[in-house]
Structure 1
């Protein structure tokens, strides 16, 4: 088994057997459900919450730099947007020929199905991109802002940790949504 195979197996097993199945049946109500007051979420442009928003279309996301301390609790919609834009999208654009994407330029979906479609497209491009990396490409410096000393293999592992981490948060939010009192 090659290093590429090992990296793909780590991600694809988690994606295919844990995370993606947990997202099946996600409703719009769950997607936008605020688990606590003042949660960061995706909202319709013009709807005002306590946070600044960014985005290019009818859907915008709560976002502030620097991030407040403590960081706000986020909705499933916000977490999916982070995976689509900041985890897969940015890296797909930088390394694998994906379209340019940023938190400012993304039109945040107001419906779960549209967000999941964007997530699936980003994940598929990521998976294909990683599959195309050979040992030499994995050993090269990734040139990633914030990871300047990392190899491409190190960046791939980081992205996989991000998917596992945020996927677990989304799964927990689904569990909490189902058990509301």
Structure 2
């Protein structure tokens, strides 16, 4: 049986999303959402949004023009939408899509097969998701 790489790449992140990260965000309050012990968390825009725009035809997304939600619930909706667009885009690539060079939108990965930035985004999402979970723990125990 042939292994479909895009199924594996999608499942890697989706398993983390469903079983580790997303549940940890339930009950996020506005006070927590606006608490900023450090600046510049970028999972919605820089990890998912810009990549969806560059590779899957999503709306142009950048740090200067993105309208961050004014509530915790709105932010979770933005995060869910950005994640779903990324996941669905990766699922739709197929083996040929994963093998083609990803192009200049990914600077250091421009000549690399698209599978390389997909792996990078998976790592980034897992990394930043863990940071968010830690911040929630720190907030609760401050």
CA distance in 1 between counterparts of 2:88 and 2:136 reads 29
TM-score, structure 2 as length reference: 0.92
Q: Secondary structure at the match of 1:26?
A: coil
User: 1:147-158 alignment to 2 at 5 Å?
Assistant: 147-158=109-120
| Structure 2 stretches lacking a partner, 5+ long | none
In the alignment, structure 1 residue 172 sits paired with structure 2 residue 134: yes
In the alignment, structure 1 residue 32 sits paired with structure 2 residue 34: yes
CA distance in 2 between counterparts of 1:95 and 1:105 reads 19
For 1:163, the equivalent position in structure 2 comes to 125
In the alignment, structure 1 residue 20 sits paired with structure 2 residue 22: yes
For 1:7, the equivalent position in structure 2 comes to 9
Matching residue within 92, 113, 138 for 2:98: 138
For 1:114, the equivalent position in structure 2 comes to 74
What RMSD in Å do the two structures reach over aligned CA positions? Answer: 1.2
CA distance in 1 between counterparts of 2:111 and 2:21 reads 30
Q: Secondary structure at the match of 1:146?
A: helix
For 1:99, the equivalent position in structure 2 comes to 59
Q: Secondary structure at the match of 2:53?
A: helix
Detail structure 1 runs of 4+ shifted over 2 Å in the superposition.
none
Q: Name the structure with the higher helix share.
A: 2
Look at both structures and tell me which one has the larger radius of gyration over its CA atoms.
1
Alpha-carbon distance, 1:16 to partner: 0.6
Total equivalences in the alignment:
138
CA distance in 2 between counterparts of 1:96 and 1:117 reads 19
Deviations 1:21-63 (A, max 9, x none): 111110011111233xxx32xxxxxxxxxxxxxxxxxxxxxxx
| Structure 1 stretches lacking a partner, 5+ long | 41-77
Q: Name the structure with the higher strand share.
A: 1
